[in-house]
Amino acid sequence: MADLADLTISEAGVGLRAGDFTSVDLLEAVTKRASMTEAQLHAYLTLDHEGAPTQALSADEMFSNGEDRGPLQGIPVALKDNMCTLGVETTASSRILAGWIPPYDATVVERLKASGAVITGKTNLDEFAMGSSTENSAFGTTRNPWNTDKVPGGSSGGSAAVAAVGSAFGSFGSDTGGSVRQPAAFTGVVGMKPTYGLVSRYGLIAFASSLDQIGPFSRSVSDSVAMLEIISGFDPRDATSINARVPEFGRSLAKGVSGMRIGIVSDFMNPDIIDSEIIAATRAMADRLQDSGAEVVEVALPSTEFSLSAYYLIAPAECSSNLARFDGVRYGHRSDFEGTTEEMMAHSRAEGFGPEVIRRILLGTYALSAGYYDAFYGQAQRVRTLVRREFATAYEHVDALISPTTPSTAFGVGEKSSDPIAMYYSDLCTIPSNLAGDPAISVPIGLDDQNLPIGFQIMAPALGEEVMYQVAAEVERLADFTQRPYLATSIEVKP
């Protein structure tokens, strides 16, 4: 391996425990990688030059004292900038929160710190996680390390890019309608959305609370398991947290898929909506799973056709309520406008929010307004129930579902930014799992003819992470996807 920054988390863990290098060395390697790529990528909003070295030193001290807190001890990881970090600026990529320093850590951050992880910094996102390209950030666009003319996906585009390029060993994002899986697909890394309620949302800046889940980006399936195990579990500070024993997600990684029944979602293999190269790659992987001993059957999920419409009513409705707290009084930006309190609030919001956020607040407020509530919001909730039931029925016949992660590979910067509907279509294959509340993962399986990664999605029933990872591990073995992005490899040849 040419550079420490290219190791997986499990490889880095072996080296740390063998004394081949220290956590301080690992932090130096990813910091150097960031310094060589950030001018082109702009994936980080903040690098924590104070906290990270202190955490690395204390992880090294734990190792030398024989204290071992598990797979993330001493490992530098990055966080999407919508997770609250005590003493470190947290903006959700919005002008309205610029300069805001949280007085507390999100539960996920607390758990990471307790596990001995090193937090490198905060990554760029679409403002308040609304978008599919990271172009909606108030602080500039993140670029795709495979081709800097392309978007990295979104909304967790910064987290995806740092995991892909090696300016962290892994990272965390949030997935409301696909914001971990879609950017993972676009950047050639593994990205996972847990069962709703498995990971605490406490300290995650809320977008759509009934859909939001935090999930890991990694360069291998087993790293994804290790990261999820650290962040998941009951938290009394999140009212929707599942109060149950956390299953061992990685128990079946080596089992293969022999004897499993796997459903390929026929609605997501439609050439009218999905690129033909992606359909071909997905079909080829399904055939290989069949060769590995699984029975692959076609499964129709007809109500997924309405998922996108339902999501774009439910998510804006919830966001219009969640974002009401940004009023210029309690947090962040306050307008200089002199007038009544209401006028000050209106001006603060108009100055602080970007156009997509304003569009969603308006859509959501309209969908919830008297006289329209049942026609829009109520109808969307009924569709959500249908989607949920359809998935539940499917899982009576199959162990897991597979599909493409995205309708296309990474698109060009600026290509869809003036057409919100075209942008919304990026999430066609990912949104249904959020509506159902089920776990889903994207695993890279190859490159298209433009040398851009193709993602393969595996979905499982609620709390079916073990089965989901079992199939994902087999897909990873079969795909043997070892290519690295142009930006990372260009660094290896030019020391």
Among the listed residues 83, 129, 344, 345, the single contact to ligand GLN using CB under 6 A: 129
Which residue, 132 or 457, is less far from ligand GLN as judged by CB? Answer: 132
Among the listed residues 177, 215, 328, 432, the single contact to ligand GLN using CB under 6 A: 177
Pattern 300-319, ligand GLN, x by CB under 6 A: ---------------x----
Among the listed residues 47, 77, 79, 130, the single contact to ligand GLN using CB under 6 A: 130
Asked if 127 touches ligand GLN (CB under 6 A), the answer is no
Q: Please tell me which residue in 93, 132, 155, 442 is annotated as part of the active site.
A: 155
Asked if 474 touches ligand GLN (CB under 6 A), the answer is no
**Structure tokens belonging to residue 386:** 């249908």
Which 189-208 positions form the footprint of ligand GLN (CB under 6 A)?
207
Asked if 16 touches ligand GLN (CB under 6 A), the answer is no
3-state secondary structure of 295: strand
Instruction: Pick the stretch among 13-21, 106-114, 126-134, 215-223 that binds ligand GLN (CB under 6 A).
Output: 126-134
Which residue, 102 or 183, is less far from ligand GLN as judged by CB? Answer: 183
Closest distance between ligand GLN and the C-beta of residue 101, in Å?
Answer: 23
3-state secondary structure of 343: helix
Asked if 438 touches ligand GLN (CB under 6 A), the answer is no
Which residue, 175 or 327, is less far from ligand GLN as judged by CB? Answer: 175
Give the C-alpha separation, 390 to 385, whole Å.
9
Give the C-alpha separation, 392 to 390, whole Å.
5
Greatest CA separation found in the chain?
71
Closest distance between ligand GLN and the C-beta of residue 464, in Å?
Answer: 20
- Residues sharing a CB contact under 8 Å with residue 230, sequence separation 6 or more, in sequence order: 70, 71, 72, 111, 112, 115, 117
Asked if 178 touches ligand GLN (CB under 6 A), the answer is yes
Which residue, 130 or 400, is less far from ligand GLN as judged by CB? Answer: 130
3-state secondary structure of 139: coil
Asked if 224 touches ligand GLN (CB under 6 A), the answer is no
- Residues sharing a CB contact under 8 Å with residue 453, sequence separation 6 or more, in sequence order: 146, 185, 186, 187, 188, 409, 410, 444, 446, 447, 481, 483
Asked if 461 touches ligand GLN (CB under 6 A), the answer is no
Which residue, 75 or 125, is less far from ligand GLN as judged by CB? Answer: 125
Which residue, 55 or 307, is less far from ligand GLN as judged by CB? Answer: 307
Inter-residue contact 122 to 41 (CB < 8 Å) = no
- Which has the closest alpha carbon to 155: 51, 256, 83? 83
80 catalytic per annotation: yes
Among the listed residues 105, 175, 466, 476, the single contact to ligand GLN using CB under 6 A: 175
- Residues sharing a CB contact under 8 Å with residue 283, sequence separation 6 or more, in sequence order: 264, 269
Could you give the residue ranges of the DSSP H alpha helices within 323-405? Answer: 341-352, 355-367, 373, 379-394
- Letter for the amino acid at 13? G
266 catalytic per annotation: no
Which 148-167 positions form the footprint of ligand GLN (CB under 6 A)?
155
- Which has the closest alpha carbon to 155: 82, 76, 97, 77? 82
Give the C-alpha separation, 238 to 407, whole Å.
33
Which residue, 263 or 455, is less far from ligand GLN as judged by CB? Answer: 455
Which residues does the annotation mark as catalytic? 80, 155, 179
Task: Name the site residues for ligand GLN (rule: CB under 6 A).
Answer: 129-132, 155, 174-179, 207, 315, 427
